[in-house]
Amino acid sequence: MVSSSYEYTQTLMGTTVSLTLLEPNETAAHTVFQTIKMLEDKLTVNRSLSEVMSINLAAGKHAVTVSQPVFSLIEQAQKVSLHFNSCFNLAIGPLVKIWKIGFKGYKVPSAKLIKQQLLLIDPKNIELNANKHSVFLKKQGMEIDLGAIAKGYIADVIKLVLHEQQVYQGIINLGGNVLTLGGSLTDKNGYWHVGLRKPFSTNDKLSGIIKVKNKSIVTSGIYERFFMQNDHLYHHIFNPQTGYPLDNELESVTIISDSSLEGDIYSTVFYGWGLDKSSKYLQKHQNLSAIFLLKNKTIALINPDNFIFQKIDTQYKIKAD
Count the residues of the shown chain that bind Mg ion, applying the rule CB under 5 A: 5
Determine the interface stretch with ligand ADP among 33-41, 54-62, 145-153, 277-285 (rule: CB under 6 A): 145-153
Q: Given the complex with ligand ADP, which of 191 and 234 has the nearer CB atom?
A: 234
114 binds ligand ADP per the rule CB under 6 A: no
243 binds ligand ADP per the rule CB under 6 A: no
- Burial (Cβ within 10 Å: 0-12, 13-18, ≥19) of residue 221: buried
Helices assigned H by DSSP within the chain: 26-43, 51-57, 68-83, 93-99, 111-118, 150-164, 260-273, 275-283
Report, in Å, the least distance between residue 176 CB and ligand ADP: 4
Positions in 80-99 near ligand ADP (CB under 6 A): 87-89, 92, 96
- CA–CA distance from 111 to each of 56, 116, 118 (Å)? 24, 9, 11
Report, in Å, the least distance between residue 321 CB and Mg ion: 26
Determine the interface stretch with ligand ADP among 60-68, 179-187, 190-198, 264-272 (rule: CB under 6 A): 264-272
Chain centre to alpha carbon of residue 121 = 20
Positions in 185-244 near Mg ion (CB under 5 A): 220
Residue 237's binding partner among ligand ADP, Mg ion, none (Cβ under 5 to 8 angstroms by kind) is ligand ADP
**Residue of 169, 180, 268, 289 that binds Mg ion (CB under 5 A):** 268
Half-sphere exposure of 172 (CA within 13 A, CB side): 27
Q: Given the complex with Mg ion, which of 81 and 267 has the nearer CB atom?
A: 267
176 binds ligand ADP per the rule CB under 6 A: yes
**Residue of 143, 145, 251, 262 that binds ligand ADP (CB under 6 A):** 145
Residues 6+ apart with CB under 8 A from 171: 1, 19, 20, 178, 179, 180, 181, 184, 192, 194
173 binds ligand ADP per the rule CB under 6 A: no
- CA–CA distance from 73 to each of 42, 149, 236 (Å)? 11, 9, 21
Report, in Å, the least distance between residue 61 CB and Mg ion: 30
Report, in Å, the least distance between residue 267 CB and Mg ion: 4
C-alpha to C-alpha distance for 56 and 148, rounded to whole angstroms: 17
Determine the 3-state secondary structure of 7 from DSSP. strand
**Residue of 56, 236, 259, 275 that binds ligand ADP (CB under 6 A):** 236
Whether residue 278 contacts residue 294, with contact meaning beta carbons closer than 8 Å, is answered with no
What is the torsion angle, in degrees rounded to the nearest 10, for the CA atoms of residue 154, residue 69, residue 46 and residue 13? 20
155 binds Mg ion per the rule CB under 5 A: no
Report, in Å, the least distance between residue 206 CB and Mg ion: 21
Positions in 186-225 near ligand ADP (CB under 6 A): 220, 224
126 binds ligand ADP per the rule CB under 6 A: no
In sign, the C-alpha dihedral spanning 258, 263, 265, 270 is positive
In sign, the C-alpha dihedral spanning 193, 199, 202, 205 is negative
The residue ranges that bind Mg ion (CB under 5 A) are 148, 220, 264, 267-268
The residue ranges that bind ligand ADP (CB under 6 A) are 87-89, 92, 96, 145, 147-148, 151, 176, 220, 224, 236-238, 240, 264, 267-268
